[in-house]
Amino acid sequence: TKPRFVVGAIGPTNRTASISPSVEDPAARNVHFDELVETYFEQIVGLVDGGSDILMVETIFDTLNAKAALYAVGEYLEATGLDIPVFVSGTLVDQSGRTLSGQTGEAFYVSIRHAKPMCVGLNCALGAQHMVPFVERLAKCVECFVHVYSNAGLPNAMGGYDDTPTDMAEHNRVFFEKGWLNMVGGCCGSTPLHIKAIREMSSQYAPRKLPDVGRPKMWLSGLEDLVVDDVHNHLGLPFLNVGERCNISGSLKFKKLMMAGDYGTAMDIAKKQVEDGAHVLDINVDDGMLDGLAAMQKFVKIAVTEPEVSKVPFMLDASKFEIVLAGLKWCQGKPIVNSISLKVGEELFKEQATLLRKHGAAIVVMAFDEEGQAATESEKVRICKRSYDILVNEVKFPPEDIIFDPNVLTIGTGMEEHANYGVDFINATKTIKEQCPYVKISGGISNLSFGFRGVTKIRESIHAVFLHHAIIESGMDVGIVNAHEMYHINELEPALLKASEDLVFNKSEGATEAMLVLTQKEKAIIEARKKGGVEVIKEKSWRDLDSRKRLEHALINGISEFVNKDVEEARQVSNKPLDVIEGPLMDGMNIVGDLFGAGKMFLPQVIKSARVMKKAVAYLLPFMEEEKKLKMVEDGLNPDDFDENDDSNYSGKVLMATVKGDVHDIGKNIVAVVLGCNNFKVYDIGVMCTCEKILKAAKEYDVDVIGLSGLITPSLDEMVDVAKEMSKGGFTQPLLIGGATTSKMHTAVKISPNYFTLGHPVIHVLDASRSVTVVSSLLGENKEDFVTDIMEEYDEMREDYYAGLEDRYFLTFEQAKEQGLKIDFDAVPPPPAPRKVGITTIDTVKIADIVPYIDWNPFFQTWELRGRYPNRGYPKIFNDEAVGGEAKKLFNDAQSMMKEIIEDGSMSLKGVVGQFPANRSSDGEDVHVYETEEDREAGKVLNTLCMLRQQAEKESEDPYLSQADFIAPAGYKDHLGMFAVSCFGCDDMVKMYEAENDDYSKIMAQALADRFVEAFAEYLHRDIRTNLWGYAASENLKEEDLLKIKYEGIRPAPGYPSQPDHTEKKTMWDLIKAEELAGIELSESLSMMPASSVSALVFAHPQSTYFAVGQVGKDQVTSYAERKKMDLSLTERWLSPILNYERD
């Protein structure tokens, strides 16, 4: 009564056929379709031999892998004559509702639908509650049974699953209430009890009813699905535009790029085709001078990694069958193959069609047979009907997946036998669709007007007439076109419309001659236009608007070029200067604020808008001040008493400061600009601000909110001190905390207990985009509700934090030392001695030298531009639908400024390198540095670098690391490198841009300086490895490989996770004379000055690795303080963020 079946699971493998394993080479793959088929076939044999009743291709994150598995299933069933049900289960990796390879659920189904699965559904990655919208969409489109076997919720912090059987059953209930499922189960985290609970819950519901089968439709897919029968093109016609510009015969530019191997620029053509209205992308690389097989595969492999290209289906187009088949094996979607025909003979035609059916492709069938090309209406119909009968009745090819191309041939040649080609095609189209149900009709439209090449207007007019009648009257469905240049028939001039109709329908003997006359006239106009002889109608511009509207436009679009002129014009027509600010300027800024808040405008645009606003206000200020003084005279007041700091017109006043000892202010500057754009008065008092200075300024300016910023870890303690002093001083302003080193957890646990009340909360602000919401909420009517929510959240976070400390186990310092990394320096000896021991000043490296080493990802993070999968990171961010356009503009601006900096030398680089004999101390915890080899022999220590060791218990057998582990003990000739580098000149540029009220350029300069110095550090580290030290002299890595740390050795920085104590910088500075030789100073809190500076220790041993020390216990801190000869309380202050205990 309860039959049980064995399901043989066929997983995704650990390879992906659609995704490149190499960031540098999008055409790279670590597995081929044929390899997958061979591997899967072997697995299927084993599963069926072992007794599997069902075969399930599951956990699909790359549909191309699944297509290979299903191909192998098909081959096995055909070879054995068995009939085994096939289930297919996809995995949508996150709430985007897409597979890892980028497909939507619908596109995934379309791509595997040809395998005729019994059941299709989703499993893994998500809990049932997260799958709801995706299951709904799948249930609406899938024609077979539908299943779900979700995880027991999302994994928790420890990798486990928290949903109880009851939870999981309830989360699955909605699927049955809505009637979406036929089968259900459990994936990760589920147990027999979970399955039992789901079964008991589901037993009260009826299964999903199989949908009614309607008229067969052609259904294609790229990353997204496309029902061809439902398509209307950009002209409103029921017609599928197939873009022709990635066809060597359709585009001379594309041909040149392919011959040159410039696939990157070729992708730009593909993207443009899609942007211009192509529903499907034709790819053809046929040329006698090109290796078509290799070119087709490379183009497709790259194209599938470009979301803006591969979101549409492909048409793989070649004269050789092996070329389209090779391209097909790299397509995860359902493409069209163009083409096959009977000219190869009936047997080979059937063989090719059968192979394409197994791959799930739609096909274009040309009207050719063994005797040649069909030219007349009757021949077109005869060959297409014969092909149809063979395909549908013998090959069992789905008729809805057949596209006939009855040959669009050239008219207007002057030859009488060609004159009726247009009429023959249109008439044949209607007859073929009547005799061959469900098929589509296509054609290469450019062939029609080939005799008029070079005159686009004439050609597209002929095409417009031809397509209108072929589509509307005869049912033509598909065409290879240049969508960007297409005309609608209603757009044609009367004379051109008549001439085109006469030519297409062969209405008169003089039709060709009449069109040639119009062609000559159009050519003459083109030539005259080239010479400037034809008046060009000026397009309307925003510069034609009135001054107030021009100002709004300039603000929204960040255009500062005309601001003074437009402000003056607006002032002349306003009653007073303030009206210009409160009118068009604030109207524009309000729109900017709304767009930014809605995520429709991005930070770089907001900064540009602020630049326009500042320049406009700066222009108006003298007029406003003069007006106020005149008003004071009228009122009998002394104009000398005029208050230049009147700030009564603002929404609120905010004080911004970078805390004592910290020189980093780029993030603070961005927040200040964003707040300023929203009519908040910001008092930015700069960097390295003492607590006294901050509190004094807060009183002086009578601010509503105080914001503190910091980048280095000592700044965290400084923020705690400011909070304490604010409490002692009776301050009532809310305190905002921000900066790279800060976190919501640290704010909740360490800072807020010292000051937080409902009246004056302490709030962590993650980035500039949140700042306006937070400040507006604090100064608005609903402040109490807003603060109460945060207070409750921070209370919970503190409880969780302290509970976590109680639950977490730490080794004693002695235990951690015993379990440290033990490198066998006899088996893997220390690297050879540096070519130069001692100190080297680096002052000849130019900005241009380090450009190839720049990592642009942090640059976009600075500007809060983040692409979403699959467009995360540089350069993929440019393809992102939301931020890609703005990211490209920002990048171009950066390139322009960088070029200016390189040309005028406004920024420069300088640094210093030290390479010294070194050995681990006898207790294994520190590193002794010697000035010379002789000093080492004599035991004369120049200085000692103290290190910290991991203590938090690990679940693995991994050692408890300290940087000291990477240096050999006494008796070995080991060495340690170190360097400090800076980018100089940024501060002067910042001052210049501040004087010009140009926040955008100011922040751009700071962001570039940061990139320059990081690239300089990468450049210098390579020079150390290959030259100055020379331990990896033969290294030959590309710049992009350096950014992925593929080299030998590491360069951790003091104050960062591997050694989180900034005071070690003092030792470094003493050793390498960084201030004396390179001009790099240390602040009171040991922040490097200039702000764009990087320092690092250089470990060369191949077993050295990056790690995080994490939290440490008091026993280690006590030992550390003794070794450093530093007061314990002072040591604890510097190490405060990593202590696993509360210091006194």
Residue among 624, 550, 561, 633 at smallest CA distance from 587: 550
User: What is the C-alpha separation between 490 and 619, in angstroms, rounded?
Assistant: 51
What b/e sequence results for 677-703 when a residue is b if at least 16 CB atoms lie within 10 Å of its CB, and e otherwise? bbbbbbbbbebbbbbeebbebbeebeb
Q: Are strands 705-709 and 926-929 parallel, antiparallel or unpaired?
A: unpaired
Q: How many CB atoms lie within 10 A of CB 793?
A: 12
User: What is the C-alpha separation between 1144 and 1140, in angstroms, rounded?
Assistant: 13
Residue among 148, 146, 112 at smallest CA distance from 130: 148
Radius of gyration of the chain from its Cα atoms, rounded to whole angstroms: 36
Q: How far apart, in Å, do the first and last CA atoms of the chain sit?
A: 71
Q: How many CB atoms lie within 10 A of CB 1092?
A: 29
Question: Rounded to the nearest 5°, which phi and psi values hold at 762?
Answer: -115, 120
Q: Percentages helix, strand, coil for the chain, rounded to the nearest 5?
A: 50, 15, 35
Q: What token pair was written down for 110?
A: 């379309």
Residue among 1025, 1001, 993 at smallest CA distance from 1098: 1025
Strand partners, 838: 915
User: What is the C-alpha separation between 484 and 461, in angstroms, rounded?
Assistant: 13
The one catalytic residue in 282, 477, 566, 662 is 662
User: What is the C-alpha separation between 396 and 404, in angstroms, rounded?
Assistant: 17
User: What is the C-alpha separation between 520 and 910, in angstroms, rounded?
Assistant: 66
**Whole-number Cα distances in Å, 371 to 367, 368, 1046:** 11, 8, 61
Strand partners, 1095: 980
Any catalytic annotation for residue 167? no
What single DSSP character describes residue 645? T
Any catalytic annotation for residue 418? no
Could you tell me if 719 and 755 are in contact, meaning their C-beta atoms sit under 8 angstroms apart? no
Could you tell me if 1012 and 981 are in contact, meaning their C-beta atoms sit under 8 angstroms apart? no
Q: What 3-state DSSP class applies to 747?
A: helix
With 0-12 CB in 10 A as exposed, 13-18 as middle and 19+ as buried, what is 200?
A: exposed
User: What is the C-alpha separation between 241 and 229, in angstroms, rounded?
Assistant: 12
CA count, 13 A, side-chain hemisphere, 227: 8
Q: What token pair was written down for 1034?
A: 């033969």
- Cα dihedral: 918, 919, 921, 923 (round 10): 150
Q: Alpha carbon 256 to chain centroid distance? A: 30
Q: What 3-state DSSP class applies to 157?
A: coil
Q: Which residue has the tokens 């047979």?
A: 369
The one catalytic residue in 114, 130, 171, 664 is 664
Instruction: Give the helix/strand (H/E) hosting 124.
Output: strand 119-127
Could you tell me if 520 and 556 are in contact, meaning their C-beta atoms sit under 8 angstroms apart? no
The one catalytic residue in 387, 442, 715, 771 is 715
Handedness of CA 1028, 1030, 1036, 1038 (dihedral sign): negative
User: What is the C-alpha separation between 865 and 795, in angstroms, rounded?
Assistant: 32
Q: Are strands 440-441 and 402-405 parallel, antiparallel or unpaired?
A: parallel
Any catalytic annotation for residue 232? no
Secondary structure of 377-444 in HEC code, one letter for each residue: HHHHHHHHHHHHHHHHHHHCCCHHHEEEECCCCCCCCCCHHHCCHHHHHHHHHHHHHHHCCCCEECCE
Q: What token pair was written down for 57?
A: 């291709």
Could you tell me if 424 and 407 are in contact, meaning their C-beta atoms sit under 8 angstroms apart? no
Catalytic machinery residues:
662, 664, 715
